[in-house]
Every structure is written in C-alpha cells, then in structure tokens.
Amino acid sequence: MDRKHPRLRQEHLARYAGHLIGLSSGPRGEVERACAPGAGQALAAARHYAELLGPGNFYLELQHHCQAPERAAPRYRLRALAEELGLPVVATNDVHYVTPTTRRCRTRCSASAGISLDDRPPGRKPNAEFYLKSAAQMRALSRTSPRH
C-alpha cells in the first residue's frame, strides 16, 4: 500500500456509506484507471460506488491540469460514463501551491531538500496548473473539458 495516499477498505466504506458523499478520485483512482484502453471495468466500478453511496452521493471527478493529450482521453470516457449512469460530475484540481507564482518557492524548497522535480515520472510532475483556482476558473475549465 502506498502510504502517501490514504486508502479506505471496502468494508469500512460499506459500513459508513450512508453518511458519505464520494468522489471517484483523479487519474490514480479506481474508476479513471479503469477508463484506460482495454481496462473495461469503469462502468462496473462507477456503478458499484454509486449504488453503495446512494443516489446523488457519488460524483465522477474531472481534473484538468493541462496534461499531455493522452491524459484527456479518460476525461472523455468519464463524461460518457456519467451520462450513461446518470451520475453527477464535479471539476476538481489538485493543489500543490497557492498561486502560480508560489510554484517557484516549492521548486526551490524541493531542490534544497535534494529532490528534483525532473526525476519524478511524467504523470507525477506538478506543472503550473496545480495551484488553488477560483470558482470562476474551475467553471471555465469544466466548460473546456471534453463532453463526450
């Protein structure tokens, strides 16, 4: 288990499901990973969480971090999945720094700690889009996210 990213056991989720609202998670989450070509389990995974959490309590999460074009494909499939299952979607954004200008501070702090951001795998490198966006910015991004 990856200790940096908390996980919730299915039996605990089932136990407290009546009191939760769930998001499908981003690119490393079960539903979006299942949207990868050949995975074919996205529908079953999304349906499982929607049924477990109850009507209106499970959202498919759309993230848009100006990633490589191949990262857009799962967002297309998530939108289609949402329509097929009648699930709501929510636009989210990982936040690694408060403003675009504070990214330089994070980069300098990483360098002083001996951590090179360039050594991270391509999908794990924070780009200039991992800052705290306003509601208006998030609405604009969700309008530009793929619809089908």
Of all helices (H) and strands (E), which one includes residue 135? helix 135-144
For residues 108 and 79, state if they share a domain: no
Q: What is the pLDDT of residue 110?
A: 54
Residue 21, pLDDT > 60, answer yes
For residue 139, being part of any structural domain is answered with no
Count up the domains in the chain and report the number: 2
DSSP 8-class letter at 102: G
Average pLDDT over residues 84-110: 77
For residue 140, being part of any structural domain is answered with no
For residues 51 and 86, state if they share a domain: yes
> What are the pLDDT digits (tens) for 106-141?
555 555 555 555 555 555 555 678 888 999 988 887
Contact 50, 11 (CB under 8 A): no
Strand order in the sheet with 22-23: 22-23, 58-63, 89-92
Q: What is the pLDDT of residue 22?
A: 93
For residue 56, being part of any structural domain is answered with yes
Of all helices (H) and strands (E), which one includes residue 50? helix 42-53
For residues 82 and 124, state if they share a domain: no
Q: What is the pLDDT of residue 75?
A: 72
Domain range for 117: 94-132
Contact 148, 79 (CB under 8 A): yes
> What are the pLDDT digits (tens) for 39-90?
678 889 999 999 999 999 999 988 876 655 666 666 778 888 999 999 999 8
Q: What is the pLDDT of residue 88?
A: 94
pLDDT-based confidence at residue 34 (cuts at 50, 70, 90):
confident
